[in-house]
Structure 1
Amino acid sequence: MLGLTGEVEPFDAHQPEGDLEDLRARLAAARLPEAETVARAGPKADRWGQGVPLTDLVDLATYWRTAYSWRSFEERLNRIGQFRTTIDGLGIHFLHRRSPRADATPLIMTHGWPGSIAEFIDVVDELADPKRPDVPAFHVVVPSLPGFGFSEKPATTGWGAGRIAAAWVTLMERLGYGTFVAHGGDWGGVVTTVLGGRFPEQVLGIHTTLAQPPPGLTMDGLSSAERRWAEETRDFWLHHAAYAKQQATRPQTIGYSLVDSPIGLLAWILDKFADWTDTDDGPFETVSIDRVLDDVTLYWLTRTGASAARIYFESHGGVNAVDPELVVDVPSAISVYPRDIEKCPRTWAQERYRQIVRWSEPEAGGHFPSLEVPEYFVTDLQDGLAAVLAAHR
């Protein structure tokens, strides 16, 4: 049990074998719907038109039940280094990989939904101890968002992006990092923007793959490419965001399915990995099957399907969302991946991020770049944060 003393305690991930046996039993006894009534062949736009195709789900569930190794993932987490501490009355879990380099800079990396700390385990080592001596090294901290993974589930409302950002400042101070840089995408990008805007004394600068423009901007003056980005983002929120509306308005209702049914949880998350990656026919063209199952299994074993969904309830358009007037004056590096779900034109980004020191438009990658294009992601993050740090010299 965690006390209220602010101590940082080592944490080892080891789920009871009975929980894994229960998972396999539930998968074996799953009740499945009939196949989708769309074309069985062709591009993703057809085959995935009603969501996760039955054949794909069955194949993945079979692998999950018979071949996937949760213990291997546990071992990876334990090798990186896991800890927990209590902040603002809530137990927060995090990975912490210190760099051997004397010139390393503290870095906090925040995941989103339906991601988790699994998004970053393949890039932590290279960020902490890069092979090239001419790139920056980092003391890497990767917390689990409240209600996600091994962090505790909030019992009351209020844990939106603003409160999370404040908790991250406390976490870094507790680790001895008075100043630091921050990275995030998805909800992690929202938290990172709040960090840069509200805590400029502690945050040296930020890197994000999900820039947050102020509301109400017009398309006047945008280039044709920027206009296309804005139109694609608008189309996403109009036609592909039912999941967000559900989780923002009725997280408890969908939560019963996500906590009680591993098949329901798998389909709910797999649908997003398929739709948001830079692929043609499913996410596994670029993302490891095991890494997706690491993510889904983490949600399952910690029973966080409902509690994680509530971040939408807490932050979408409410008092805990990004302040429309928030300005980020610290140096900012922004990367816009071509198949991400929201792509912010630079003209719009400059209305909030007043000191953009690096702007990157990668040629490949989607919403999960650390999983889709990990080598490029690391290089892009190193270069972006190098520009951030150079702005202080």
Structure 2
Amino acid sequence: MDAFRISVSDEVLDDLRARLARSRFTSPSAAGWDAGVDPAYLRSLVAYWGGEFDWRAAETRLNAYPQFIDRGQHFVHRRRDSSRPPVLLAHGWPSSFVEMLPLADLLDVDVVIPTLPGFLWSSLPEGPLTRAAIAEGFHQLMTETLGYERYFAFGGDIGGAASGWLATMYPGEVAGLHVIHGPFPADFDAHPITPAEQAFFDAEAARDEWDSGYSDIMSTRPDTIAAALADSPSGLAAWILDKYRAWSDCDGDLESRWDRDTLCTALTLYWVTESIGTSFRQYLDYPSNAPRPTITVPVAVTQSHEIDMDAFPRSIAERAASDIRQYSAPHRGGHFLALEEPQLIADQLTAFMRAVS
């Protein structure tokens, strides 16, 4: 395990600013964000990113957190003087460890924040990047590298799904699982689908009518879109900002949840690590995922408030997990809930860990 500090060269930053200054912008196809990222907003954000944004200040803030790399796995490891088990905080796409830092600051136990394989400085494993493969790497980090005997896992999106696999693969070591997207069962054969469950499936289908294009491309032609995003920082910004706005609980106002420095920090991390293409790998490899067994460890759910997730019924989670100890739907905070509502998650995660450990 080697200590790690973020250190981006002046040459890389100069090149980024030069590319941003030469950005070309499209004409709007519809009003505002109706056809994707608003070109006027993108132009404004790109100007800020290339001009006012202070990467060196952001770099200093991030380096205040102890970071390490072990066997190709980048992670933050912040220790606290606590007798309770630590917690692993797992992010999703299009995110990074930065999403979990405000939450980590509020917790009174040891915190480990791994960067997903293929994201930033974490390398891809051999073979398909499945949720189980991610979980295996996380468990190796927690037990072999850091020496913890038991730990909690928290996450959403890819990180939440991988944490679900952690719970099923290593129930003796995972003390409890906390997720912001209720887990899905391997199938719905045990009981007839309820009206509430069908309403959720219908809502999901409706969402896919207008929000599945990114996934379709990344699942079938990731290298094609990655070629454009790896060459154009403004294109990279458009691809990511579209999801930050659509998936966060911002009511259409992106900067009500993401200040510009946080946005530019996230974008810069993807750019300087040249990892946007490898961050798509889990989409391409998704068909390699096997059905996940029932989760038997204690589970907490804090349901995110995004797109169709308000329609998610607890019964679906109960099909997937046999021991749900805590369930809430606070109706605030979206796909990036730990960043959007860190105090809410800190309170609920802490209550869960104290009740279980």
TM over 0.5: yes
Report how far residue 342 of structure 1 moved.
4.4
Distance in 2, matches of 1:84 and 1:160, equals 21
Relative to structure 2, which stretch is displaced further, 336-345 or 183-192? 336-345
1:1-393 pair list within 5 angstroms: 8-34=1-27, 36-39=28-31, 47-86=32-71, 91-101=72-82, 103-127=83-107, 137-154=108-125, 157-173=127-143, 174-214=145-185, 216-217=187-188, 220-223=193-196, 228-314=199-285, 316=286, 318-319=287-288, 321=289, 323-339=290-306, 342=309, 344-389=312-357
Note the alpha carbon deviations across 1:105-148, whole angstroms, 9 max, x for none.
21111111001111012221211xxxxxxxxx321000111110
Conserved 8 A contact 2:306-2:334: yes
Amino acid at match of 1:31: R
Q: Which 5+ residue runs of structure 2 have no aligned equivalent?
A: none
Q: Secondary structure at the residue paired with 2:101?
A: coil
- TM-score computed with the length of structure 1 as normaliser: 0.85
The alpha-carbon deviation at position 215 of structure 1 amounts to 5.1
Contact between 2:223 and 2:277, CA under 8 Å: does it hold in 1?
A: yes
Shift in Å at residue 216 of structure 1? 4.8
SS in 1 for 2:76: strand
Q: Retained in 2: the 8 A contact 1:334–1:384?
A: no
CA distance in 1, matches of 2:169, 2:309: 23
Deviations 1:307-340 (A, max 9, x none): 00111112x2x22x2x335110000001112225
Cα separation, 2, equivalents of 1:275 and 1:257: 22
Q: Taking every aligned residue pair, what percent have the same amino acid on both sides?
A: 34
Whether the 8 Å contact between 1:206 and 1:385 is mirrored in structure 2 is no
Q: Distance in 1 between matches of 2:258 and 2:354?
A: 27
Say if 2:135 and 2:166, in contact at 8 Å, map to a contact too. yes
Corresponding residue SS for 1:182: strand
Partner Cα distance (1:325, 1:142) in 2? 23
Give the superposed CA RMSD. Answer: 1.8
Contact 1:246 1:254 (C-alpha < 8 Å) held by counterparts: yes
Bigger relative contact order (CA 8 A; separation at least 6):
2
Q: Give the superposition deviation at 1:230.
A: 3.7
Q: Which whole-Å CA distance do the structure 2 matches of 1:265 and 1:145 have between them?
A: 19
Pick closer, same or farther for the CA change 1:340–1:200 going to 2, 3 Å.
farther
User: Structure 1 stretch 207-216 or stretch 162-171: which is displaced more?
Assistant: 207-216
How far residue 100 of structure 1 moved from its aligned partner, in angstroms, is: 2.4
Distance 1:341 1:308 in 2: 24
> When you count helix as a share of all residues, which structure comes out higher?
2
SS at match of 1:207: strand
Separation in 2 of the partners of 1:109 and 1:93? 13
State which drifts further: 211-220 or 361-370: 211-220
> Shift of residue 341 of structure 1?
5.5
Query: Residues 71 and 340 (structure 1 numbering): CA distance in 2 closer, same or farther, change over 3 Å?
Result: farther
